[in-house]
Amino acid sequence: MAFKVMLVYPNARGMNMLPSAIGLLSAVLKRAGYEVQLFDTTYYKSVDGKEADSDKSKSDRLMARPFEMPRQISCKTTNCFDDFRSSVLDFKPDLIGLSCTEDMFKLGIKLLSKVSDLEIPAIAGGVFPTFAPDLVLSYPEVDIICRGEGEDALVELCYRLENGLKYDDVTNLWVKQGDGTIKKNPLRMVDINKNPLIDMSIFEEARFYRPMGGKVYRMFPVETFRGCPNTCAYCNSPAQMILYRKEQGRSFLRKKTNENILKELLFYKDTMKAEYLYFWADTFLCWTNEEFEEFCSMYQQIKLPFWCQTRVETITKDRLAALKKINCARMSFGIEHGNEKFRQNVLNRRISNQAMLEKFRLIEESGIPFSVNNLIGFPHETRDLAFDTIRFNRLVRSWDRNAYPFTPFHGTPLRDECERLGFISYEDIVQSVVIGGSLLNMPQFPQSEVNGLVKTFNMYVKFPESRWTEIRKAEAETPEGQKIYDELKNEFLESGLLNLVE
């Protein structure tokens, strides 16, 4: 009988991005001859007694356009924990692999706890185990963690387990020992150009549909790069670069060959019948001019509409014209903070407001719809500084804008700063701020004020300043505050302020 692996993806309803890592891990495992099954919580109506929906939350805060999922896509109303246990009992896996973000880790642990009596070895992987390995291994439900990339390590682990061989020396793995110690192995880097195509058969049909700009498309993710060359203090990409440079002596940033990108694109277009694609690289345009021209020439064969995100610094008029020509349908950019000095000194984003505005004007002139992303509630930030972000967004004629509470993920420089300031401890694991709000209660900028500004962000940006006193009242989490908020929200929608730029 084939060795069996149950992959587990704990996720919140409405977080519709297809997890490429899961599909890739399934593909490499199946290529090695192993049997794989996936348990994914994305389309459960209620998880742990909560009916949170991140897409609905964004729509409620005027940060996403209303949309309707296809009728054939419906939520599961059964208990996800009971279903997970039944799936494990039916499949009888030899290994359980948990892949999750930090904010979904606690849900993953609760799932694993429902089958702990079955004594199936469990491995956890992803960015969170990479940057907080000892914390993840402190949970009795986890036996092994994978630091860094998992394709090679997971296949090697399965081979060792299947053949009854010692596995505590597999690179990238930290393994609990019988005496309570942890065997820590060094990192190795994957050759991403040797990876197979993502295994799409492991996913439910519903996972192929995603909203974009108020419509739902059959969408698929495309990998072009791993890593990011930038050093933003709110992101863990810099720590990844440092980790691999220290242990491997080389950069974590790698580019996929155009030949392999094309193979993936044709698979999505011809086999999976994609209607839309999204390139999930942190900085899509970190190509050289020659590499970008080669990509554009190649994409002429595909011409499906696509979304990408990139740094505004990478934008030129010529690049925008080329993107428009090959059917770039939407782009996203990070503003993060509107105060130039704060952005440079605290967030390590070294671009002036004037330079950003000039780039945004080029994008607007290109006719490619774009959205901008902002964060509120950084350490050292105040309410007054947050209003610099609001005022700056009033100058940017984007099609959409988002604001989220800052999240101090493990592995980010600002996480260390939050711990130093006593706003959070190392043991604290972040929860979903898209649904739950700010995690930090700072004396100079309390949670209630951070959450209130996030909630009303687009009202402050789009309504005239003469309405700001009224909007301030709508921030309050009180019956009166909610009444004012609902009235302003209705006015906002009826006035067409959620539509394209005026």
Task: Give the per-residue pLDDT at 441.
Answer: 85
Beta bridge pairs of residue 226: 254
The token duo for 361 is: 């004007």
Comparing 272 with 237, the larger pLDDT belongs to 272
| Sequence-ordered list of residues with C-beta below 8 angstroms from that of 465, at least 6 positions apart, any chain | none
> Quick check: 59 pLDDT over 90?
no
Q: 213-445 sits in which CATH class? A: alpha beta
DSSP 207: G
The Cβ-side half-sphere exposure at 113, using a 13 Å CA radius, reads 8
Q: Which residue has the tokens 């309050």?
A: 476
User: pLDDT of 413-461, one tens digit each?
Assistant: 999 999 999 999 999 999 876 667 888 989 999 999 999 999 999 999 9
DSSP codes, 62-118: TSS------TT---B-S-HHHHHHHHHHHH--SEEEEE--GGGHHHHHHHHHTTGGG
Task: Give the per-residue pLDDT at 502.
Answer: 43
The token duo for 48 is: 């742990």
> Quick check: 48 pLDDT over 90?
no
User: pLDDT of 310-349, one tens digit each?
Assistant: 999 999 999 999 999 999 999 999 999 999 999 999 999 9
Q: Which of 187, 147, 252, 192 is nearest to 20 (CA)?
A: 192
What are the phi and psi torsion angles at 216 (to 5°)?
-110, 130
| Sequence-ordered list of residues with C-beta below 8 angstroms from that of 38, at least 6 positions apart, any chain | 6, 7, 8, 9, 22, 26, 202, 203
Q: Using pLDDT thresholds of 50, 70 and 90, give the confidence band for residue 501.
A: very low
The token duo for 337 is: 């903070």
Q: What residue ranges do the domains of the chain occupy?
A: 4-184, 213-445
Contacts by residues 69-76 (CB-CB < 8 Å, ≥ 24 positions apart): 69/209, 69/211, 69/216, 70/209, 70/216, 72/205, 72/206, 73/43, 73/205, 73/206, 73/209, 74/43, 75/13, 75/43, 75/44, 75/45, 76/43, 76/44, 76/45
* Strand ranges for 82-214 from DSSP E: 95-99, 122-125, 144-146, 173-176, 182-184, 209-212
Beta bridge pairs of residue 6: 37, 96
- Rounded Cα distance between 125 and 133, Å, is 9
User: pLDDT of 245-298, one tens digit each?
Assistant: 877 777 777 899 999 999 999 999 999 999 999 998 889 998 899 999 999 999
The Cβ-side half-sphere exposure at 409, using a 13 Å CA radius, reads 25
- Rounded Cα distance between 240 and 246, Å, is 10
Give the length of the chain.
502
Of 180-194, 398-412, 422-436, which gets the smallest average pLDDT?
422-436
Comparing 42 with 144, the larger pLDDT belongs to 144
246, 188 Cβ separation under 8 angstroms: no
Determine the distance from the C-alpha atom of residue 261 to the mean position of all C-alpha atoms in its chain, rounded to a whole number: 21
Q: Which of 304, 311, 306 is nearest to 328 (CA)?
A: 306
> Quick check: 58 pLDDT over 80?
no
> Quick check: 487 pLDDT over 70?
yes
User: pLDDT of 64-110, one tens digit each?
Assistant: 666 677 766 778 889 999 999 999 999 999 999 999 889 999 999 99
Q: Which of 206, 210, 193 is nearest to 307 (CA)?
A: 210
Q: In what order do the strands lie in the sheet with 306-309?
A: 209-212, 215-222, 276-279, 306-309, 328-336, 370-376, 400-405
Percent of the chain scored above 70 by pLDDT?
95
Mean pLDDT of the chain: 91
Q: 4-184 sits in which CATH class? A: alpha beta
The token duo for 348 is: 């390590």
| Sequence-ordered list of residues with C-beta below 8 angstroms from that of 189, at least 6 positions apart, any chain | 148, 149, 244, 248, 250, 252, 254
Q: Which of 284, 298, 189, 270 is nearest to 230 (CA)?
A: 284
User: pTM score > 0.85 for this model?
Assistant: yes
- Rounded Cα distance between 121 and 142, Å, is 8
Q: What region does 437 belong to: left with phi over 0, alpha with psi -120 to 50, or beta?
A: left
Q: Which residue has the tokens 């345009």?
A: 285
Task: Give the per-residue pLDDT at 51.
Answer: 57
> Quick check: 500 pLDDT over 60?
no
